[in-house]
Chains A and B, each alone.
Chain A
Amino acid sequence: MHIPDGLLSAPVSIACAALAFPAVGTAAARARSGTGAREAALLGVTAAFVFAAQMINFPVAGGTSGHLVGGVLAAVLLGPSAAVIVMTAVLALQCLVFGDGGLLALGANVLNMAVVNPLVGYAIYRVMAGSAARGPSSYARRLAGAAFAAWTATVASAATCAGELVLSRVGAPSVVLPAMVGVHAAIGAGEALITAVVLATVMRLRPDIADRARSSLGRDRPGGIAVLGLVAAAALGLFVSPFACAWPDGLERVVERLGVEPSRAILSAPAPLRGYAIPGLHAGVPSTSLAALAGTLLVFACCVAVGVWLAPRRAAGRATGGPDIAPPSRS
């Protein structure tokens, strides 16, 4: 989903950068209020980890393969503002050193993959994981939440990306939007499964780290996170909602996939999609939207099943280190 230069028009690129800049700045300010060297090393080494993890290809049927993107995994394990910084650094390095994603398009790529993706994912993860007590049931809920969050966040990024491409007049909305969202609904399923499997393995090997991530859930100060949520909501509203008039049929589909869950969950910011959704739903034949809703519910059910299935059974009883796969740390 790395947009290269030459695809986006100059106004769209500048609008994306204008949205991405305050979000990254807010996240950086929140991250710096941590503990100096410790925080800097954690962010830098985790960014290197995300980069390395993206190079590991998971085989999919038919000789194709996919890889983890890692935005939701980072948000779940380190918190949303750390995830924004980590993903921004990864994208900037991929752009500046390896030419993956354009320089002018960096704002758009950061907005899609480093702001919208971790924040939408984190919002859904928090809603689904809740504040359940320790133990297998809490692990199952958190795994299901992370899996569904990874899927929805991938689709949300793809929809924002499609909106930017359409506003740059690269293609008609009736072509670009379903293509991007459809392809990434499939890619998102892989991302969801990889995220859940990796998180389950972290829970099994180092329940202390997994629990530290959970306990940091409660410590988020509301101020900065509201700004971040607002930017993510604005991005979705700006780039996805214009299709309300141009293409109500497709908007229904996007709203069914995006609007219903995330806009309610985006940290109580006013949901920009819901206002558009109501006329669209009344005007069109609801068959496609019902199909999309059924698809979303199916993915949701699969995520819950994955969570229950992968949740470590004996994790609550163990304090540290699972000796059955590998010793932790100390390389």
Chain B
Amino acid sequence: MSGVHALQTHADIDSPLRRAPASAKLAATLAFAVALALVPAERWTWMVAAVAAVAVLYRVARLPLGRSLARVGIAQPFVLGVAVLALFQGRGLAVFLAIALKATACVAAVQLLAATTRFDDLLAVLRRARIPEALVSTLALLHRYLFVLVEESSRMRRARRARTWRAGLWETWKALASVIAVSFVRSLARAERVSAAMRARGGGGS
């Protein structure tokens, strides 16, 4: 079961990349993705160079290589699915290689950004970029309560499994659906408490 631990990042490992300003890192990652998108499919040496460059930055950031590779791998099924589709057309092999290399380099670059930047710093950048406040505050609260709700729903599933002797497919579905429905109802109640606490501390501006 994918629990809270799968969600941990390494934003606390000190390195030159960790200390660089978040806005610069976000802009560099975006520029990297744009530049790579513009590289034509035939120039695969450029793409290999891009992958190598990101790998060097991982060393600079002192990230655990095994875990980082596992995280890059999460995005690969979709990439491979689309890349295999590309094989069914003219010059399919070149497109296949280009997709695989470009996607790996970009996924690794975004993972690097996430692993070396605190989420609060990213939010501050988004605020300065004049992203609508409703979206930024939603992101902030999402990040704050994500771990609480994931932990809560996995606790509910654990309790359900402990009580259920042997469930068929349909019983499992009904049980999981009631876990989701109850956690939605609990989320609404939690939102009420959070907003009351925010108002009590003078926040929210209503």
Contacts and interface: CB of A to CB of B under 8 A. Distances in A.
Interface of A: 1-10, 13, 24-25, 27-29, 31-32, 35-49, 51-53, 55-56, 58-59, 61, 68, 77, 85-86, 88-90, 92-93, 95-105, 165, 169-172, 175-176, 179, 193-194, 197-202, 205-206, 209, 325-326, 328-331
Interface residues of B, number: 86
Contacts of A24: 132, 135
Nearest to B135: A28
B34 to A, nearest CB: 6
Contacts of B110: 5, 95-96, 99, 102-103
Chain B residues touching A, majority SS: helix
A42 B191 CA distance: 5
A7 B185 contact: no
B88 interface: yes
B205 interface: yes
Contacts of B74: 98-100
Given A6-B36, A32-B132, A45-B191, A175 B88 contact: yes
Contact of B7 (A68, A98, A197): A98
Contacts of B178: 201, 205, 325-326
B119 interface: yes
Nearest to A36: B206
Contacts of A179: 85
Given A10-B34, A45-B191, A99-B107, A201 B138 contact: no
A53 B178 CA distance: 11
Contact of B149 (A3, A39, A49, A165): A49
Interface of B: 2, 7, 9, 29-30, 33-34, 36-38, 71-72, 74-75, 78-79, 82, 85-86, 88-89, 95, 99, 101-107, 109-111, 113-114, 119, 122, 132-135, 137-146, 148-150, 152-153, 157, 169, 172-174, 176-192, 194-195, 198-199, 203-206
A32 B135 CA distance: 10
B132 A198 contact: no
CB-based closest 9 A-B pairs: A44-B141, A37-B204, A36-B206, A6-B102, A5-B106, A329-B189, A201-B181, A28-B132, A6-B103
A89 B198 contact: no
13 contacts: A6-B103, A7-B99, A36-B204, A43-B138, A44-B142, A45-B190, A56-B176, A59-B172, A97-B114, A101-B75, A193-B173, A197-B174, A326-B178
Given A2-B78, A10-B34, A51-B149, 13 more contacts: A3-B78, A6-B79, A6-B101, A9-B37, A28-B134, A40-B138, A40-B195, A41-B194, A52-B153, A56-B176, A56-B180, A98-B74, A329-B189
B153 A53 contact: yes
Contacts of A31: 134
Contacts of B122: 96
Given A36-B206, A165-B82, A175-B88, A6 B194 contact: no
Contacts of B144: 44, 48
Contact of B150 (A51, A77, A93, A97): A51
B28 to A, nearest CB: 11
